[in-house]
Structure 1
Amino acid sequence: MAPTDRPEALSEHAFSPHDAALRAAAPHLARRRFLTVTATASALAFGTNLPVRGAYAVPVRDAARITDDPFTLGVASGDPLPDSVVLWTRLAPAPFEPDGGLGVQRVAVEWEVARDELFARVEQRGVAEAHPEYGHSVHVDVKGLAPGTEYHYRFRAGAWISPAGRTRTAPGPGEDTAALRLAAVACQAYHDGYYTVHRHLAEDDVDVVLHLGDYLYEYPVDAVGGARRYTGAGLPDVFARETTTLADYRMRYALYKSDPDLRAVHAAHPFVVTWDDHETENNYAGAVDENGSPPEQFLVRRAAAYRAYWENQPLRAAQLAQGPDALLYRRLHWGTLAQFDVLDTRQYRSDQAYGDRPHVPGPESDDPGRTITGDAQERWLIDGWRTSTALWNVTPQQVCFSQRKFDLGDPARVSMDAWDGYRASRDRVVAGARAAGVDNWLVLTGDVHVAYAFDIKEDFDDPGSRTVGTELTATSVTSGGDGTERPATWDTYLRANPHLRFYDGRRGYVRVGLGRSDARIDFRTVPAVTTPGAPVTTAASFVTEVGAPGLKPA
């Protein structure tokens, strides 16, 4: 999918280096009004760096002259619909260079989709353009596919052929699909270990993978790759700083996608992705960063981060950032079996109450005007439930939804960065689910680097109140290092939160089998990520039955 309807860009040579950095940050001003930067700087930051059309467009590079493999970052697919799926790649023969080694020229990239892995039965093929303005990424929204079907795909640039990927389309809209196997992952700090979890997930039999945020981290990565402890020349110095510019974020994605296990899991399964904070900056809330920077300054950084996120994920054009804004929340379906309401709890939230550290709830955090989703997304979610005809309503999102007391105090401290810090928001969402008649509600969460299983209660302070759904928290892929089966807080958390049914501190993923009578949940864990090759085991399994919310041991 090459962008075709953007305004023309101005000449690369018309601006100073400072202006060029602003210009690279984001496409246009959107609806933000910057108060402390000049109108000229604002226009430069948000009005340019778009694909040029017409006589002044940069020429198409002769792909035959690409001398090194441009497919170093692999391939991916995502957001499957009954008749289409997004195919992704990004050309980068020199992935650790700001331009990926391709300069400012466009590159024509061929793609093809087949029913078989040998590509003997090619169903569709075409040509897309990889634009330098989008980091030479390619997003092809392939339409006209058969529902509920497995496909294989690949790309070609000149003499170079990409690795092949496998994907699948969703079942037809009215199809009473019997089963769906999904996996949820989150939090994959490169510097905290190897992606062994992704290698095991690549080999697992699942239909789709949900990535719940913290795909990358903005923190510096040293020459030895942190816990990976590389020897020899090591990583370039460019990674030994925090990401703030578009070039920084692009190269950080290149570092992450240089990992063979991450490339393998993307090639094996279609992904549905959403972000949390670290794709931009730790614990940011809307236009507020953790350092108290002027909002207009942070929004330029956010624009760069959002732009790079789209460039490096299998997302449709609707999710392309417009300046510091991006419409990431969206709805997908899997026949009549499941509706997925993918949330964004970072972009629209009120600033954290009492700072972003654990705190006892109080008037500030419980102000009914505070929101974690923004009003429009909250209405969209609840309205979607009212019209849902799916058996399972699945909500992939970022931070813990259920109440999570950190101690046995009365009152106890809770996270101001999670839904506990936005209790009025949570109350409205729970009430909306109840009013919509959502009987089989499954919330999928990342962020906290441990695995949890919660019964979602109508009133978390009354253990005997009605259970209205299930929350599953995917532990991290690597973040936090190896972890341990029973963290130091294990006993306290279980005593303070009677609706918490499972707690494990190791790395891994959660696998869910949705069926017509129940859902089977398996928490898959590895004992270590600081050394590669650890085996995967199932730490615990649960069942939640259709029409009877609540977790039971399998």
Structure 2
Amino acid sequence: MRLPDSVSRRGLMLALGAGGVVLGSGRRALADPVFAEYPFQLGIAAGDPAPDGFVIWTRLAPRPLEIGHGMPSAPVPVKWEVATDRGFSNVAQRGEAIARPELGHAVHVEVEGLEPGREYFYRFTAGAERTPSGRAKTAPARGARVTQARFGVLGCQAYEQGFYTAHRKAAAEDFDFIYCYGDYIYEGRGSRTYTGSGGTIENPRQHIGGEVYSLDDYRRRYAQYKLDTDLQSSHAAAAWFVTWDDHEIQNNWVSDQDPDDVPPEVFLLRRQAAAQAFYEHMPLRRSAFPRGAEMQLYRNAAWGDLLDLNLLDTRSYRSDQPCDDAWATTCAGVADPAAQVLGEAQEAWLYRALDQSQAHWKVLAQQIMVMDLDRKEGPEPGYNLDTWAGYSIPRQRLLRRLKDRRIGNTIVLTGDEHQNYAGELYLDSRNPEGAPVAAEFVTTSISSSGDGQDQRAEGRRFLADNPFLKFNNAQRGYVVCDVTPERWQTEFKVLDKVSEKDGTLTTRATLAVASGDARVVPA
């Protein structure tokens, strides 16, 4: 590997305590480092599986919570291996990557040349230190006949508000992959208590430091989360498709709009720091590399002929929430014809993908609820204006496209709500006409909002006032999707508590959608 021009021989030797091997060009190879402490404390991960490979990730951080994370200001070589067996007796691919200080010594390797539809194992080595092995499956060949897929959906993991028992349980599920809908970190300052719908509770653990703004702040926050061994086990068990929602930057942000009315040019500086830190800590491809404050996170992935996954970004291109983002209300702004959720480019890309899809199930893997759930008590409707219900024209445009083009077997996967929901999508749920256009499954949080309860009073009211809503639950957990050509089945896994580490996992409900029929029914 070549030594970058910006790194001098003397500086590298001083930083790493060793010389290099002279290359034919006269430049020096990077030296193997000696670490004062174990450098892989943040774990490993794989992501974005394709038929010929996937991304593998790690980050060197011997002292993860310190500025500089215990690393020299110099590039460091990291070796990697991918094998067909956990013992690495049959290595399929190996190579060397460079952990660069500009990226917090994170490593992203896009592994190619693997066989489709099979299990692999991977690991990293730096100096004399080595990671445990991780597991990832390649996607089936594009268009190949696939009779079954099993994957997990999870997100919303406020570190302070609960332990990551759900991640430990998810790691044992033998998933083909995991979809994480966002809110991987929360940006707020450390707090001893959390106040929500259930009153004020004592947080079982606490963020380090104040609210995060700078790149160093965000790096430290990700490091605190990734030090959790249950989260590490979830990453090591399956490849993830990751997107972001709001808390990776700031609660309820959209586009260049900060909810606290920070000037857009200043907020973009925060977005830029947050985007870099997100990339540094996620198993993302080079196509997602941040360009200033912008990241290309919307993308398509296929699982043979069974699934087309359209991974959406509902934050970066959205117009500001109407009605000052008030809760359970409505106003003229909800029907603004110029409003956007996906933005023009992403929306056009999605429509092309849906039109061209030959997969049996078309999946919209995104962040905010599409159901226009009436959340206001009484005869007048009121919506959560940070969902698609606050943007009626883009919402109708999406559902009209599905209906008019007869794009059947569409499933929407959503997060953000910190509750489980399942329901049916109509152009106007107040006046439903004919069969539902699609089905939506909303996954609760890993830990955000604390222990929760089986159902809040508002949840019972939502079910009574919204006939298209078929299920609601307010506990923590994740979702398991079992998919065949004949049926989509969603299993809601919930924990009795996350305030302690020994929470019990059960299946709260299992709901299904038959091929050719978007109704949500008990399995």
| TM-score calculated relative to the size of structure 2 | 0.92
Aligned residue for 1:506, secondary structure, equals: strand
1:344 — aligned with what? 313
Aligned residue for 1:210, secondary structure, equals: strand
What amino acid sits opposite 1:77 in the alignment? A
1:410 — aligned with what? 379
2:179 paired with 1:210: yes
1:397 — aligned with what? 366
Equivalent in 385, 397, 419 of residue 354 of structure 2: 385
Q: Is the 8 A contact 1:455 1:499 kept in 2?
A: yes
Cα distance per residue 1:1-43 (max 9 Å; x no partner): x999x9x8899xxxxxxxxxxxxxxxxxxxxxxxxxxxxxxxx
2:508 paired with 1:539: yes
Q: Is the 8 A contact 1:110 1:155 kept in 2?
A: yes
Q: Is the 8 A contact 1:60 1:108 kept in 2?
A: no
Aligned residue for 1:548, secondary structure, equals: coil
1:511 — aligned with what? 480
1:427 — aligned with what? 396
Cα distance per residue 1:278-333 (max 9 Å; x no partner): 00001111101011011000001001101110110000011011001111000000
Matches within 5 A, 1:169-188: 169-188=138-157
Q: Is the 8 A contact 1:88 1:314 kept in 2?
A: yes
Cα distance per residue 1:224-274 (max 9 Å; x no partner): 9995646xxxx7xx9220000001001100000000000000000110010
Deviation of 1:413 (Å): 1.0
Q: Is the 8 A contact 1:458 1:465 kept in 2?
A: no
1:315 — aligned with what? 284
Deviation of 1:428 (Å): 0.7
Deviation of 1:62 (Å): 3.4
Q: Is the 8 A contact 1:527 1:534 kept in 2?
A: yes
2:236 — aligned with what? 267
Q: Is the 8 A contact 1:183 1:209 kept in 2?
A: yes
For 1:223 and 1:240, locate their aligned partners in 2 and report how far apart those are by CA, in whole Å. 12
Q: Which moved more, 1:59-68 or 1:310-319?
A: 59-68
Taking only the aligned residue pairs, the percentage that are identical comes to 39
What amino acid sits opposite 1:531 in the alignment? E
Deviation of 1:221 (Å): 2.3
Matches within 5 A, 1:124-143: 124-143=93-112
CA spacing shift, 1:3–1:278, aligned 2, 3 Å = farther
Q: Is the 8 A contact 2:191 2:203 kept in 1?
A: no
Q: Which moved more, 1:490-499 or 1:73-82?
A: 490-499
1:89 — aligned with what? 58
Deviation of 1:377 (Å): 0.6
2:140 paired with 1:190: no
For 1:368 and 1:511, locate their aligned partners in 2 and report how far apart those are by CA, in whole Å. 37
For 1:124 and 1:369, locate their aligned partners in 2 and report how far apart those are by CA, in whole Å. 50
Equivalent in 395, 419, 422 of residue 450 of structure 1: 419
Deviation of 1:542 (Å): 1.0
For 2:356 and 2:33, locate their aligned partners in 1 and report how far apart those are by CA, in whole Å. 51
Q: Is the 8 A contact 2:55 2:285 kept in 1?
A: yes
Matches within 5 A, 1:218-229: 218-222=187-191, 229=204
Aligned residue for 2:170, secondary structure, equals: helix
Q: Is the 8 A contact 2:323 2:330 kept in 1?
A: no
Deviation of 1:143 (Å): 0.4
Tell me how many residue pairs correspond in the alignment.
500
1:520 — aligned with what? 489
For 1:376 and 1:279, locate their aligned partners in 2 and report how far apart those are by CA, in whole Å. 23
For 1:431 and 1:178, locate their aligned partners in 2 and report how far apart those are by CA, in whole Å. 30
For 1:205 and 1:500, locate their aligned partners in 2 and report how far apart those are by CA, in whole Å. 30
Cα distance per residue 1:496-521 (max 9 Å; x no partner): 21111000000001111110100111
Aligned residue for 1:481, secondary structure, equals: coil
1:69 — aligned with what? 38
1:332 — aligned with what? 301
2:257 — aligned with what? 288
2:12 — aligned with what? none
Cα distance per residue 1:350-371 (max 9 Å; x no partner): 0111112225333212111101
CA spacing shift, 1:60–1:393, aligned 2, 3 Å = same
Matches within 5 A, 1:116-127: 116-127=85-96
Q: Is the 8 A contact 2:180 2:243 kept in 1?
A: yes
CA spacing shift, 1:223–1:248, aligned 2, 3 Å = farther
Q: Is the 8 A contact 2:84 2:91 kept in 1?
A: yes
Q: Is the 8 A contact 1:365 1:423 kept in 2?
A: yes
For 2:54 and 2:153, locate their aligned partners in 1 and report how far apart those are by CA, in whole Å. 19
CA spacing shift, 1:374–1:10, aligned 2, 3 Å = farther
CA spacing shift, 1:10–1:466, aligned 2, 3 Å = farther
Deviation of 1:486 (Å): 1.1
Q: Which moved more, 1:59-68 or 1:333-342?
A: 59-68
Cα distance per residue 1:99-144 (max 9 Å; x no partner): 2110311110000000000001111100000001001000000000
Aligned residue for 2:56, secondary structure, equals: strand
Aligned residue for 1:365, secondary structure, equals: helix
2:448 paired with 1:476: no
1:304 — aligned with what? 273
Q: Is the 8 A contact 1:302 1:324 kept in 2?
A: yes
2:470 — aligned with what? 501
2:122 paired with 1:160: no
Q: Is the 8 A contact 1:218 1:278 kept in 2?
A: yes
Q: Is the 8 A contact 2:439 2:518 kept in 1?
A: yes
Deviation of 1:492 (Å): 1.1
What amino acid sits opposite 1:399 in the alignment? I
For 1:304 and 1:288, locate their aligned partners in 2 and report how far apart those are by CA, in whole Å. 16
Unaligned runs of 5+ in 1: 12-57
Aligned residue for 2:518, secondary structure, equals: strand
Cα distance per residue 1:407-439 (max 9 Å; x no partner): 243331101111011111111111122233211
2:13 — aligned with what? none
2:24 — aligned with what? none
CA spacing shift, 1:344–1:10, aligned 2, 3 Å = farther
What amino acid sits opposite 1:384 in the alignment? A
CA spacing shift, 1:229–1:129, aligned 2, 3 Å = same
| TM-score calculated relative to the size of structure 1 | 0.87
Unaligned runs of 5+ in 2: 9-26, 195-200
For 2:333 and 2:513, locate their aligned partners in 1 and report how far apart those are by CA, in whole Å. 36
What amino acid sits opposite 1:438 in the alignment? I
Q: Is the 8 A contact 1:61 1:105 kept in 2?
A: no
For 1:178 and 1:63, locate their aligned partners in 2 and report how far apart those are by CA, in whole Å. 46
CA spacing shift, 1:10–1:365, aligned 2, 3 Å = farther
Matches within 5 A, 1:235-274: 239-274=208-243
